Structure 1
Amino acid sequence: MTIPFFAPDLFESDRQVLLDLVHEIGTAPAQKFLLGEHTARFEDALRTSLGAADVVACSSGTSALTLVLHAMGVGPGDEVVVPAYGCAPLANSVVGLGATPVFADIDPWTMVADPDRVEQAITARTRAIMPAHMFSVMAGMPRMREIARQHGVRLVEDSAVAQGGVLDGRPAGTWGEAGVFSFVQVKTFGTAGEGGAVITMDPELGQAVRSLRNHGQGERFVYRRTGYNSRFDEVLAAFQLHRLPGFPALLERRARIADYYTERFAPLREQGVLAPPAGRNGRCYYVYSLLADDRDALQRYLAARGIESHVYYPQPLPHQAAFARFAPAGRSWPHAASAARRQLAIPVHPCLTDAQVEHIAAAVRAYAGARENTKERSR
């Protein structure tokens, strides 16, 4: 039996609730499918739980990044420092506004942006720095805040994968002038579709984002700026409100699985398999990623034992054709390139049974042991 990387029955227990909400909202007299009372309540629930000044729900995490950067005035002639390893929206959102992404290398173990490399990438044209939380580790936000303050640049926290994460007592999404969440189904608080949110401690920035997500309207049919169609779905807002009380339990299940993996894998470093750093401070457990010296061999070994795994970002962003023109000649990002060769994610979703988790852990350990035995025989 195959152990899937993504849970195949993620919303099974809530199926009837979702169907009832579709019928309820679809047959309501107001016929309000976007930005209605459910969206407002969802935003308020998130704002209260995070202690934020404003939360603005929008159509996706990618859209949230664009809205924030636009609201901050990022545009042609500006530079935004982003990690060299990560998802395309990190660079796409910058390029889409006519600005230039400047790529900073990552930490070789945690795979988040290296603060020293971020600071070195700042120039007179830098408008913002945009670190991203990756897999199960939050970026070093205290240092990023200090860098932004010292250099007088804006700080955008790409926390799309980190909802529920907490670093030094402060929730993910609240470290920068603005942060973002993604609600696409595979995220920690994914929904039955797509959506996102902007989180900010700045009420004025929140109001600008709120206008931009709805074509630039301040009041109905009054346009003081150009904007986007990035509105949030009422059915999904109501569904997420229903699921919100159960979110901490889902996070705790992910965290316990990750704790178990990390403990079991700690001895494997010398055998070519490196687990994420231990502990829960600054963790989010969206994806549990190993670094393997022979990633493809490990993936084949797991597949032969019915365990699905996933390779994220097989090329650093500056090596992608879409962004190659922003990669200066002679520049290299060695840690990003290493992560692209070595990263392999194993299942960590909350629907895993204890037996499945043990099977996955045992298989990874068996692979590392067999690899070490092979090396010993060849000596």
Structure 2
Amino acid sequence: MRVPMLDLSEQYNGLREEIIHTLDEVMGSSKFILGDHVRKIEASVAEFANAKHGIGVANGSDALHIALQACGVKEGDEVITTPFTFFATAGAVARAGAKPVFVDIEPDTFNIDPSKIEAAITDKTKAIIPVHLYGQSSDMDPIMEIAKKHNLYVIEDAAQAIGAEYKGRKVGEIGDAITYSFFPTKNLGAYGDGGMIVAQDDEIAEQMRVIRVHGSKPKYYHRVLGYNSRLDELQAAILNVKFPHLPEWSEKRRERAAYYTELLNAKVPQIKTPVVREENYHVFHQYTLRVERRDELQAFLKENGIDSMVYYPVPLHLQPVFEYLGYREGDFPISEQACKEAVSLPMFPELKAEQQEYVVKKIEEFYI
């Protein structure tokens, strides 16, 4: 049996006629930049996230950078975040001229450990970026309390967590700015790059809108140094077709995650299956295990037609590009251990039960 990490073909086939129709509509309108489709998806995602503003941008990485700039993060500032995340999180901090300051993660959720944040705060700290990794919200209440105490901005990296909830609140209504990615593999994916920021504050939102168009308002009058980062109208049109299906897709991901956990706990109890905090609504962008002999397991699964992925093999504090920060191996042991043990199994709404059963059967065979 072949089990891909992700298969978007079935999703496309179900939406094909509507997608072709809406793309044809955009072509016929000749409105390709910040048109009606962009405005519609901005409004839809903002409402969905219980946020006041939605600002469509070119990609999730730019969303982080623009959010940092709009919150006033600049050269000489420090931003606290996790070393166990995709490069863009800390890359955006460095591109803003600020210094990424890392703190370790919780061993069960893979998210930033709030109990370690306050010790990393200095008089240069300007913001905190919690990452809602794999589709589960970070523990936001203590993070927001620390931010309020020290007058810091909170920019949530929700690239993997659109639709996730924390204590009944949507990821999108808690921090000062929340960033999403619409990369094709995401739970709500375009057919190319795309991103969005949602925010409650009028002034921050206005700054973001100005920054994404070269810092100009009105046109050709530049009061800040921005750059060209707009959500494409064609991608927005595709997202508008997909968006109404997002809640259903999230539920299907949760159902498949629950089935994986049921099977694995029964067949391979020594494996650490994902921990879902009681207060969270986890949307399972990835279904990630902690396992021994991870690389050997991956090779065995591949031999048997099963895809898997490692998110992430090297923590950010040990990446060569961040050598100047002065971190060393052993500084963040939980993140470093996660990089050796974490492996993600195939996960998408159309994943079949027999595919999941086959995956678990082969994992069981490997550990027998």
For residue 119 of structure 1, report the CA deviation from its aligned partner: 1.9
Which position in structure 1 is the counterpart of 2:13? Answer: 12
Which position in structure 2 is the counterpart of 1:3? Answer: 3
Which position in structure 1 is the counterpart of 2:196? Answer: 197
Contact 2:318 2:328 survives alignment (8 Å): no
Which position in structure 2 is the counterpart of 1:91? Answer: 90
Contact 2:23 2:238 survives alignment (8 Å): no
Partner Cα distance (1:147, 1:269) in 2: 39
> Is 1:276 the equivalent of 2:277?
no
Which position in structure 2 is the counterpart of 1:44? Answer: 43
Corresponding residue SS for 1:244? helix
Give the number of aligned pairs: 366
For residue 20 of structure 1, report the CA deviation from its aligned partner: 2.9
Partner Cα distance (1:360, 1:91) in 2: 34
Going from structure 1 to structure 2, the CA distance change for 1:170 and 1:77 (only over 3 Å counts) comes to same
Which position in structure 2 is the counterpart of 1:64? Answer: 63
Partner Cα distance (2:330, 2:286) in 1: 29
Going from structure 1 to structure 2, the CA distance change for 1:269 and 1:305 (only over 3 Å counts) comes to closer
Which position in structure 1 is the counterpart of 2:264? Answer: 265
Corresponding residue SS for 2:102? strand
Partner Cα distance (2:106, 2:203) in 1: 34
Partner Cα distance (2:302, 2:94) in 1: 38
Contact 1:214 1:229 survives alignment (8 Å): yes
Going from structure 1 to structure 2, the CA distance change for 1:269 and 1:218 (only over 3 Å counts) comes to farther
Which position in structure 2 is the counterpart of 1:209? Answer: 208
Which position in structure 2 is the counterpart of 1:376? Answer: none
Unaligned runs of 5+ in 2: none
Partner Cα distance (1:279, 1:249) in 2: 21
Partner Cα distance (2:187, 2:244) in 1: 14
Going from structure 1 to structure 2, the CA distance change for 1:78 and 1:18 (only over 3 Å counts) comes to same
Which position in structure 2 is the counterpart of 1:102? Answer: 101
Corresponding residue SS for 2:133? coil
Which residue type is aligned with residue 275 of structure 2?
P
Contact 2:62 2:229 survives alignment (8 Å): yes
Going from structure 1 to structure 2, the CA distance change for 1:269 and 1:177 (only over 3 Å counts) comes to farther
Contact 1:259 1:278 survives alignment (8 Å): no
For residue 137 of structure 1, report the CA deviation from its aligned partner: 2.5
> Is 1:173 the equivalent of 2:166?
no
Which position in structure 1 is the counterpart of 2:217? Answer: 218
Which position in structure 1 is the counterpart of 2:244? Answer: 245
Which residue type is aligned with residue 5 of structure 1?
M
> Is 1:23 the equivalent of 2:24?
yes
For residue 317 of structure 1, report the CA deviation from its aligned partner: 0.2
Contact 1:55 1:197 survives alignment (8 Å): yes
Which residue type is aligned with residue 241 of structure 1?
N
For residue 293 of structure 1, report the CA deviation from its aligned partner: 1.4
Going from structure 1 to structure 2, the CA distance change for 1:268 and 1:105 (only over 3 Å counts) comes to farther
Which residue type is aligned with residue 205 of structure 2?
G
TM-score (norm 2): 0.95
For residue 358 of structure 1, report the CA deviation from its aligned partner: 1.9
For residue 8 of structure 1, report the CA deviation from its aligned partner: 4.4
Contact 2:276 2:282 survives alignment (8 Å): no
For residue 263 of structure 1, report the CA deviation from its aligned partner: 2.4
> Identity of counterpart residues, as a percentage?
33
For residue 227 of structure 1, report the CA deviation from its aligned partner: 0.6
Corresponding residue SS for 2:145? helix
Which position in structure 1 is the counterpart of 2:366? Answer: 367
Which residue type is aligned with residue 274 of structure 2?
P
Partner Cα distance (2:223, 2:8) in 1: 45
CA offsets per residue over residues 115-142 of structure 1, 9 Å max, x none? 1222221111100010101114221111
Contact 1:262 1:277 survives alignment (8 Å): no
TM-score (norm 1): 0.92
Corresponding residue SS for 1:217? coil
Unaligned runs of 5+ in 1: 371-379
Contact 1:138 1:284 survives alignment (8 Å): no
Contact 2:163 2:171 survives alignment (8 Å): yes
Contact 2:135 2:162 survives alignment (8 Å): no
Equivalences for residues 286-365 of structure 1 within 5 A: 286-328=285-327, 332-365=331-364
For residue 330 of structure 1, report the CA deviation from its aligned partner: 7.8
Which residue type is aligned with residue 161 of structure 2?
A
Partner Cα distance (2:272, 2:91) in 1: 30
Contact 2:251 2:283 survives alignment (8 Å): no
Which position in structure 2 is the counterpart of 1:149? Answer: 148
Corresponding residue SS for 1:219? coil
For residue 328 of structure 1, report the CA deviation from its aligned partner: 3.7
For residue 219 of structure 1, report the CA deviation from its aligned partner: 2.4
Going from structure 1 to structure 2, the CA distance change for 1:35 and 1:291 (only over 3 Å counts) comes to same
Partner Cα distance (2:353, 2:27) in 1: 40
Going from structure 1 to structure 2, the CA distance change for 1:270 and 1:121 (only over 3 Å counts) comes to farther
